[in-house]
Amino acid sequence: MPSAAEIAWLIPLLPLFGALLTGLGLISFNSSINRLKKPVAIGLLSCVGASAIVSYAVLFEQISGAQPVEHLFVWASAGDFTLPMGYVVDPLGAVMLALVTTIALLVMVYSHGYMAHDKGYVRFFTYLALFSSSMLGLIISPNLLEIYVFWELVGMCSYLLVGFWYDREGAAHAAQKAFVVNRVGDFGLLLGILGLFWATGSFDFNGIAVGLSEAIEGGSVPLWAALLICFLVFLGPMAKSAQFPLHVWLPDAMEGPTPISALIHAATMVAAGVFLVARLEPLYSQFPLINLLIAVIGTITCFLGASIALTQMDLKKGLAYSTVSQLGYMMLAMGCGAPIAGMFHLVTHAFFKAMLFLGSGSVIHAMEEVVGHEPVLAQDMRLMGGLRQKMPITAITFLIGCIAISGIPPLAGFWSKDEILGQAFHSFPILWLAGFLTAGMTAFYMFRLYFLTFEGTFRGNNEDLQNQLLEFASKEKDDDDAHSHLSGVIHESTWPMTIPLIVLAIPSVLIGFLGIPWSSAFAKLLDSEEAIEMATNFSWGDFLPLALASVTISISGILLAYFSYYLKRIDLSIIFAKRFSLVNSFLSNKWYLDDINEKIFVRGSRKLAREVLEVDAKVVDGVVNLTGLLTLGSGEGLKYFETGRAQFYALIVFGGVIALVALFGVLGN
């Protein structure tokens, strides 16, 4: 009987088979397939579920000490050049396979309730399965070129899912923005991959690391070129994992259905960049300057996301900027030479962030019955409040997620984030300080979200506030429609939406214990030598002060949110807006980065396009039109010489000969 690793190729293939089967059905028998919601859902859930079973079998084999497995075949060859394809299973890939299939399966179960009445239900499930297949294929890819193929498939699927409600202008623009920004990073990644092949003649992860080192030592590749190639490769993860300044697409991706927000933000698209940097750790570890650059970009992203989240009133966008911030923590760990800490935070974050996004979807789903389907109203926390009594399961699981992401022990977020801060403290103390302050901001804005949403009194029936928000958003709403939703009643979501929340709450509380620094089972799985070194070098004298400081600043942020948004002793938002109006405006406008991009790149490219169009119209078209005019004029003139009489043609030839003789005579003299 083959081992699980021997059949790991089935993991991405099963969801792909289900997606292709359903997709072909939609193309051929659209109306009939759209009526088969439950059979389609069961079929695609079964495909992803089977992939999850194989993934967990692979993980258990790796935990038991099985050796990594790699199966390759020659996909293309020309002379001495061969391009292998196939799949690889190792501890890092096994962890990611189990994580992605778990989150994808729970999101699909949740989507059955959330998208039940959507006319695109079947299409949505098809996209989910295709998205999952693409990410799973990326994880088991054995070289950079194969990763790039699945990398682009993930990007294509994210475009389809973010713009799923394509009839909404905001969703269409968000999908285009995500596509364009990721193309910038992907172009850099492609150039970097080609550069690595030029320098090393290999696409294999270890091959490029060893080959580039030897090329630098041999003098065939200068150091500056190696640094440039490594940076170009990093541009791909910068875009996929939403690192500054290519992070701008991720908050706008909230225009897609909420289950997609959970899937993209938790364990698939945004995790791909961090995963690739971890895969390339043998390469990046050779260049301290690149590691420093990664750490600095991660720190800026970390602080930027948290600072913008402080002012967000849209529930989903607040969580989106939280994801940007946490991805910054992961990149900070990678830059500090601690890929295990970064990957561990990726795993813990996947569970509690998926739970938070699905919880926000549960809230929005309930709010739509009161304020309608207008996102400006259904997602605005100023219209929420007091939902804990009506939605206890959603409230409790959301609170668990807030505690976990705030880094309060013993929940999962404490162990992973504290390990990153500890590594940063010993590597780059200045960057540690920024991460430390971000921890306090994280606790504050997360409990701000919780208190505004679930505590206090319900504000959704405030029609004046609804109209103000709609006017502020420059949207129009019919008066009859504004009143038609006020009779709705807030209630807890159905079981397909609440069960995933309960399931995700369990690892959000417990999974952190797998990464305790003095005996890390997670580190032992990924790198046993690193785990032994961590246990040997562990010191309570180093751990306790940093952990205590981290917990203290997190509790301070929670207390500040408690006094401001629960007890309402101080109106922090008004005080801050009055005393620090410039800073408040800076944060509310998202560091003006969207405005800068709009002015420089969007308007600039449009201006360039208009100038090119003008050149095309006046110069290129002018040359073409002139050529046609000359041809027409010469033809019109020459037609009079076409008499059909031989004597006339002979006269012309004779005259031409006399003219040539005269010309040569003049030139001879």
261 burial level (CB within 10 Å; 0-12, 13-18, 19+)? buried
3-class SS at 88? Answer: strand
CA distance 254 to 359: 14
Q: How far from chain centre, in Å, is Cα 596?
A: 21
The confidence score (pLDDT) of residue 58 equals: 93
Q: Considering only CA atoms, which of 276, 297, 275, 295 is closest in space to residue 287?
A: 295
CA distance 138 to 216: 29
DSSP code, position 45: H
Omega cis (within 30) before 375: no
The confidence score (pLDDT) of residue 82 equals: 81
Burial 84-121 (b: 16+ CB within 10 A, else e): bbbbbbbbbbbbbbbbbbbbbbbbbbbbbbbbeeeebb
This prediction has a pTM of 0.86
> What residues pair up with 204 in beta bridges, in sequence order?
143
Q: List pLDDT tens digits, range 439-469.
A: 999 999 999 999 999 988 887 776 666 666 6
CA distance 237 to 252: 18
| The length of the chain, given as a count of residues | 669
The confidence score (pLDDT) of residue 661 equals: 80
Inter-CA distances, 564 with 5, 347, 452, 493, Å: 53, 32, 10, 29
Q: Which residue stretches of 115-221 are H helix? A: 121-139, 144-162, 169-200, 205-218
Across 342-495, where does the E strand assignment appear? none
CA distance 406 to 669: 98
| H or E element in which residue 83 lies | strand 81-89
Q: Considering only CA atoms, which of 389, 386, 343 is closest in space to residue 527?
A: 343
CA distance 27 to 46: 22
3-class SS at 272? Answer: helix
Angle at which helices 258-266 and 121-139 cross, to 10°: 0
CA distance 587 to 311: 7
Sign of CA dihedral 443, 449, 453, 459: positive
Low-confidence residues of the chain, pLDDT below 50?
A: 475-487
Q: Considering only CA atoms, which of 162, 92, 234, 177 is closest in space to residue 593?
A: 177
The confidence score (pLDDT) of residue 462 equals: 66
For 193-258, give the DSSP string: HHHHHHHHS--BHHHHHHHHHHHHHHTSS-HHHHHHHHHHHHHHHHHHTT-TTTTTHHHHGGGS-H
Contact 270, 240 (CB under 8 A): yes
CA distance 500 to 495: 9
> What residues pair up with 76 in beta bridges, in sequence order?
83
The separation between the first and the last C-alpha atoms of the chain, rounded to the nearest angstrom, is: 100
Inter-CA distances, 542 with 257, 332, 345, 521, 534, Å: 44, 20, 20, 20, 12
